[in-house]
Amino acid sequence: MMNFLRAFVFCVNLLIILALLLLHFFVKDATYQSSLWFYTFPLPLIIMVVLGMSIVLGKKMKYNIWIASVLFLIWVGRSFSFNFSKTSKPDDVKIVFWNASRDNDYKKALDINKEIPDLLVLTEAVHSDVQDVIPDHPFFHFYKSKGELKILSKTPILVKLDTVSDFNTNVVHFQTAHTNFYAIDAQGSTDVPRSWEWRFVNSIIKVEENTVILGDFNIPYESIFLKKLKSNYVHFFYGNGIGFRETWFWGIPLLSLDQIWVSKDIEIVCSTKRNTWVSDHSMIKTVVRKP
């Protein structure tokens, strides 16, 4: 009886692991139902689940430990980046994005970044008042979108499009520093399928040269909805930053929800991210060099 019970537990363990691996590597967020599980179980959590289940396996725990080790190597191999930063030049453009988690503002963002970037884009900065910043930076340019995106730039901002979907995904297409930008604040509610919102976003992004796309995407790097971006743009952190590319949750590298993508004709000089205790999202920064 005990042998049967052990075999049953081991089989259930294998089925759970197989289901999680199929979900993460193949199914992903192809359907609304699968997306709920896909976002709930990023690879780091799957590794923890595999290790956790090994406790009840007795002598067979070695199989789970082996699987977890392989998954850990896969995760580190594709998520961790190490780069010797290049020396920036005066004409390089410094770009910062941050989900301010509603309780922070321009001043807090500039304080965390420790310098004034050429472009700062915030979302969920509901308490951010331009009048608090203008006295210290009277020559800066500001823009408040129809949604929750707020933009600060050292050079004039020419807004080409500011639109909001039926479910409050906000996209702003603008030009500054002689570059095209798309700022995105994607809806993150579990009630709204990501496919709807990313069909909306992808229909807006038209320019594929001299372009930077940034924002809170509310989908991870592994999502199937980023195929278009991956074909035409380069992720800001891949090969250009130090650490894990994931930006959420509270400094724990679970999901890369906040992203910057750069067109292939623009050189990425270096990229960084800052974890804070005032937002559950990391602040992300990249320095780019125009050809």
List Cβ neighbours of 223 (8 Å cut-off, separation of 6 or more): 28, 29, 38, 194, 198, 217
Give the dihedral of Cα atoms 77, 278, 259, 193; nearest 10 deg.
Answer: 100
Asked if 100 and 127 sit in the same domain, the reply is yes
DSSP code at position 246: -
Asked if the structure places residue 87 within a domain, the reply is: no
Dist CA 238 CA 125 (whole Å): 27
Inform me whether the pLDDT recorded for 139 exceeds 90: no
Q: Which residue has the higher pLDDT, 105 or 143?
A: 143
Asked if the structure places residue 240 within a domain, the reply is: yes
Dist CA 103 CA 110 (whole Å): 14
Inform me whether the pLDDT recorded for 128 exceeds 70: no
CATH number of the domain that 166 lies in?
Answer: 3.60.10.10
The string of DSSP letters for 43-66 reads: HHHHHHHHHHHGGGSGGGHHHHHH
Inform me whether the pLDDT recorded for 136 exceeds 90: no
Asked if 202 and 247 sit in the same domain, the reply is yes
Range of the domain at 7: 2-81
SS (H, E, C) 156-218: CCEEEEEEECCCCCEEEEEEECCEEEEEEECCCCCCCCHHHHHHHHHHHCCCCCCEEEEEECC
What pTM was computed for the model?
0.94
Inform me whether the pLDDT recorded for 157 exceeds 90: yes
pLDDT of residue 61: 86
pLDDT of residue 103: 81
pLDDT band of residue 216 (cuts 50, 70, 90) is very high
The pLDDT of 123-137, averaged and rounded, is: 73
- Spell 84-118 as b/e; 16+ CB within 10 A means b: eeeeeeeebbbbbbbbbeeebbbebbbebbeeebb
Inform me whether the pLDDT recorded for 177 exceeds 90: yes
**Domain end among 60, 81, 102:** 81
**Domain end among 81, 106, 128:** 81
The pLDDT of 176-188, averaged and rounded, is: 97
User: What is the greatest pairwise CA distance in the chain?
Assistant: 79
Read off the pLDDT of residues 25-50 as tens digits, 9 standing for 90 and up: 999 999 999 999 999 999 999 999 99
Inform me whether the pLDDT recorded for 135 exceeds 80: no
Inform me whether the pLDDT recorded for 173 exceeds 80: yes
Inform me whether the pLDDT recorded for 169 exceeds 70: yes
pLDDT of residue 66: 96
Question: Do 71 and 48 contact (CB within 8 A), yes or no?
Answer: no
Give the number of other CB atoms < 10 A from CB of residue 203. 9
Asked if 140 and 38 sit in the same domain, the reply is no
Asked if 111 and 76 sit in the same domain, the reply is no
Read off the pLDDT of residues 59-106 as tens digits, 9 standing for 90 and up: 778 999 999 999 999 999 999 998 876 788 999 999 999 999 888 888
Split into its structural domains, the chain has a count of 2
Asked if 99 and 234 sit in the same domain, the reply is yes
Dist CA 103 CA 78 (whole Å): 33
Inform me whether the pLDDT recorded for 142 exceeds 90: yes
Inform me whether the pLDDT recorded for 129 exceeds 70: no
The pLDDT of 201-220, averaged and rounded, is: 95
pLDDT of residue 214: 99
Asked if 128 and 231 sit in the same domain, the reply is yes
119 strand-pairing partners? 95, 153
Inform me whether the pLDDT recorded for 5 exceeds 90: no
Q: Which of 54, 43, 49 is nearest to 10 (CA)?
A: 54
**Domain end among 81, 104, 128:** 81
How much of the chain, in percent, has pLDDT values that exceed 70? 96
Residue corresponding to tokens 């199929």: 22
Residue corresponding to tokens 């976003």: 201
Asked if 129 and 152 sit in the same domain, the reply is yes
pLDDT of residue 86: 78
The pLDDT of 261-282, averaged and rounded, is: 95
Asked if 139 and 220 sit in the same domain, the reply is yes
Asked if the structure places residue 257 within a domain, the reply is: yes
Q: Which of 239, 241, 238 is nearest to 272 (CA)?
A: 241
The mean predicted confidence, pLDDT, of the chain is: 93
